[in-house]
Structure 1
Amino acid sequence: MAGILDSVNQRTQLVGQNRLELLMFKLVGRQRFGINVFKVREVLQCPRLTNLPKQDKYIKGVAHIRGQTISVIDLSKATGGPEIQQTDDCFIIIAEYNRSVQGFLVSGVERIINIRWQDILPPPEGAGKSSYLTAVTEIDEEMVSILDVEKILNEISPVSTELSEEIVDETVGESIGDKVIMIADDSTVARNQVRRALEPLGLNMVLAKNGQDALDQLKAIDAECEHAIGEKVALLISDIEMPEMDGYTLTAEIKSNERLRDMPVILHTSLSGVFNNAMVEKVGAQDFIPKFHPDELATAVKKWLKID
């Protein structure tokens, strides 16, 4: 797998182009899956795994890689499929989500493909493991499933959404009156995490399931405003990875729209390991908060609402 990842600088050229690169892999069976290359540190032949006492049932074991001990998750079992039995010919995808590094055990790794976000769609209703899918696409006339990794990780190690006492302040919502905060994220788990974290600020929130949905809602709200969107929407918090329209493109669309451009945008994403400030500057977002630390998110929200 040497050379499967190019430099981060090359990846940043995709910013604002509404494109991504998917690393395709298989679990048990013929079904193909994908993970954004931005999340991937490296791909390795599965090393010897060590079992730990009372480890989670989805953890296959831990591996010692480059001086770091990494939990290896059986991605098939964690999504309701059969356990991967033999690991000798398997691979682990070392990925960084939400400021932590995990290993995902997969049976095989294929190739990297470059694709438009428009070609990545929300999962169809009732599509088998739909509760663990965040999107689907078609490659070589076959469906490729993109897993809701944040849901998987939250089931293994739930994320706290509680704010520290000194951050809690219900008057924040009172200060902006009837204005709302919009939250755009394709993961139901992630949307609810943000919503729960910000509820102690007394905010009214509306939710969008991806960038296109957010833009459509914003334009519909703006059509009812006399002057600009800021009359009704005080702030947008957006994920970056979303089907149909990613957070970079959403931000660029907002900032190029005369009636929307003054609305602050916070990019809130699990792409913490490879993110750099050039991405925020290129699309014109006001801030970037890596997932998921509720105090940091709430503090940023208060800052851009001009609340001390």
Structure 2
Amino acid sequence: MKNSVLLEAGTGELEIIVFIVNGNAYCINVLKSREIIQLGEIRPGAVTNKSILGLASVRDKVMTVVDLSYILDNKPTDLTNTKMALVCEFNNQEVMFVVDSIVGIQRIKWSDITKPDRLLKSTLSVGNILTDNGILLLLDFEKIITDLSESDNVYLKSKDKIALKSERMTKKIYIAEDSKTIRNLLKEVLVAGGYTQLTLFDNGQDVLKSIFEIKEKHGQNFNKEIDLLITDIEMPILDGHTVTRRIKEDPLLSELPVVIFSSLITADLFHKGEQVKADRQISKPSIDGLVAAIDELLF
């Protein structure tokens, strides 16, 4: 999987790990998974949540073991059978997700990922991928983790710490974030801090189209309608790295501040944001760091 890190940023491509849970196929961005291992011994933990199987050790690191079978189908996984685990790192934490089996790794384009059906309001999918073998669901792992740690929600805890500043109310910010859960939390926290003029998008293509329409209308005065963009990386249709690259390659829009706010901002991947000339890169869920970066760029 290390070769995946070498994929050039902003090309519109990604690699996914395809895995099976209860006979259904799902996938995760390769960059969110540190490794794939056979599930070993699980020790009981103090948490009583049925979605958490306990704790496991991987090379002297103790991690929470999450039962995707229970989360997806409300069906406890059968540990009498051999299971595999995805060791993932995002939002500055490492977690193991138990799956039945691993199909393999595929390279696809972000444009191959379509938005999930709007009728499926409770879905854990942030995108669908149509393949020759059927539909793959790209799971919203951030929502899974956020839901599991609802009582310790970093976003809401930060809300009370961010001082309300009236000068922020004049600034117009666009946000591109595919996870509805994170999108709503971001809005709630930023509004509480005074950033009330927010325009929200759930994919990179729509936000990029809107920004270029603003440029066509206002030219070098595009900041009449937008002062700054916050973008996730992993989004259906068009990813945040590609969005950032296209903005920074444009002679007029290159002056638009772009903050990448993503769970994929790690030491190994920071260079990808540098390649596309992002103004700031903040790792989720550091909402304090995000607000500080916005303030630095706008004032």
Query: Does the pair score TM above 0.5?
Result: yes
Match for 1:105 among 73, 95, 98? 98
Mean Cα deviation higher: 18-27 or 160-169: 160-169
Q: Which residue pairs with 1:12 in the alignment?
A: 6
Distance 2:274 2:30 in 1: 21
Q: Which residue pairs with 2:131 in the alignment?
A: 139
Q: SS state of the match for residue 126, structure 2? A: strand
Q: Give the counterpart letter for 2:18 in structure 1.
A: M
Distance 1:256 1:305 in 2: 21
Q: Which residue pairs with 1:92 in the alignment?
A: 85
Q: CA deviation at 1:296?
A: 0.8
Match for 1:25 among 14, 19, 23? 19
Count of residues in correspondence between the two structures: 295
Q: Which residue pairs with 1:197 in the alignment?
A: 189
Q: CA deviation at 1:87?
A: 5.0
Give the alignment of 1:30-69 within 5 angstroms.
Answer: 31-69=24-62
Q: Which residue pairs with 1:262 in the alignment?
A: 255
Q: CA deviation at 1:194?
A: 1.6
The answer to whether the aligner puts 1:185 opposite 2:181 as a matched pair is no
Asked whether the 8 Å contact 1:182–1:237 carries over to 2, the reply is yes
Asked whether the 8 Å contact 2:265–2:281 carries over to 1, the reply is no
Q: SS state of the match for residue 233, structure 1? A: coil
Q: SS state of the match for residue 73, structure 1? A: strand
Q: Which residue pairs with 2:145 in the alignment?
A: 153
Q: SS state of the match for residue 64, structure 1? A: strand
TM-score (norm 1): 0.89
Distance 2:200 2:63 in 1: 34
Q: CA deviation at 1:84?
A: 1.3
Asked whether the 8 Å contact 2:12–2:238 carries over to 1, the reply is yes
Q: CA deviation at 1:217?
A: 1.9
Which consecutive unaligned segments of at least 5 residues does structure 1 have? Answer: none
Q: CA deviation at 1:55?
A: 2.7
The answer to whether the aligner puts 1:299 opposite 2:292 as a matched pair is yes
Distance 2:144 2:52 in 1: 11
Q: CA deviation at 1:270?
A: 0.4
Alpha carbons of structure 1 residues 28 and 160: separation in structure 2 relative to 1, 3 Å: same
Distance 1:166 1:132 in 2: 30
Match for 2:65 among 72, 81, 89? 72
Q: Give the counterpart letter for 2:164 in structure 1.
A: D
Alpha carbons of structure 1 residues 82 and 26: separation in structure 2 relative to 1, 3 Å: same
Asked whether the 8 Å contact 1:72–1:102 carries over to 2, the reply is yes
Q: SS state of the match for residue 225, structure 1? A: helix
Q: CA deviation at 1:277?
A: 3.7
Name the one with the larger helix percent.
Answer: 2
String of CA shifts for 1:135-194, please: whole Å, max 9, x gaps: 0102224100011111111110022224376741322324xx2x4111101111111122
Mean Cα deviation higher: 265-274 or 162-171: 162-171
Match for 1:122 among 103, 106, 115? 115
Q: Which residue pairs with 1:288 in the alignment?
A: 281
Q: CA deviation at 1:22?
A: 0.2
